[in-house]
Amino acid sequence: MSANSAFDYAIPYDIMVGYWVGTASIYSPKGVYVMSTKSYVSVYWVKYHSIVSFRESAEDDYKFHGRPEDYLDPRGAAGQKRVAAALGKTKTKPLAANGALRVLTYDFDVNGPYCETNQNAPISVTGRQTRPDAYQFHVKMKREHGYHHVYNSHHLPTPDDWHIIGPIVGRVDNEEGAVGLAVVQHFRRISYAVPAASIRKLG
């Protein structure tokens, strides 16, 4: 892990920036354990304090080889230039906003403690900081019969630990507004920098 760990909790969402690995465990509405999956998350500033990108995948597509060019610090001026350069490449394949069940990709517009993605997309997200180490997110997914909603509480008790818990709410067994599956996630920071390969346009 990089020695550059002086994250400022006072800057909303900055504590999330970096590369993370963890597990997501799913429970039934009655609390019965269903399954667990491994996840990798890369979070970086596209525009410092203004636009932050979130990339989660169940597969680790980002291979580290210890070379400096494989890493970048999206919080510094040099890293910001590399982010801009990567996003400007026309040969970079865009990522789908919800192209696969096990891949989540979002670009957030940040306005102080509040953030939101494109609200017209099939999956849209709004979030807010409620204290320096805690956030709440609302994920809204369009379905044939209305929406499913995911309400997530995020807690980052240390710069290297990220805990997420929340239920899926929607039409469950024809009952509107019923609480469905619950997802519990725990991530551990791999690096304060992110893999250069994770800097991709959102399609």
Domain limits at 158? 14-198
Q: Is residue 9 part of a domain?
A: no
Amino acid 191: pLDDT = 86
pLDDT at 92: 46
Q: Is residue 1 part of a domain?
A: no
pTM of the model: 0.79
Q: Is residue 89 part of a domain?
A: yes
Q: How confident is the model at residue 148 (pLDDT cuts 50, 70, 90)?
A: confident
In this structure, what CATH number is given to the domain that contains residue 194? 2.40.128.20
Is residue 104 one of the residues assigned to a domain?
yes
71 lies in a domain? yes
The verdict on residue 26 lying in a domain is yes
Whether the CB-CB separation of 34 and 28 falls below 8 Å is answered with: yes
| pLDDT per position as a tens digit, 75-132 | 777 777 877 777 776 444 544 444 433 467 889 999 999 999 998 888 899 999 999 9
Compute CA distances 177 → 41, 67, 180, 190, whole Å: 29, 49, 9, 37
Whole-angstrom distance between the N-terminal and C-terminal Cα of the chain? 31
**Which pLDDT does position 67 carry in this prediction?**
61
Q: Is residue 3 part of a domain?
A: no
Helices (H), the chain: 77-87
Bridge partners (DSSP) listed for residue 195: 71
Longest dimension (CA), the chain: 53
Q: Distance between CA atoms of 198 and 200, rounded to whole angstroms? A: 6
Q: Would you say residue 91 lies in a domain?
A: yes
- Pull the structure tokens for residue 72: 């970048």
What total of structural domains would you count in the chain? Answer: 1
Residue-wise pLDDT for 20-79, tens only, equals 999 989 898 888 999 888 888 999 999 988 999 998 876 655 555 556 666 677 777 777
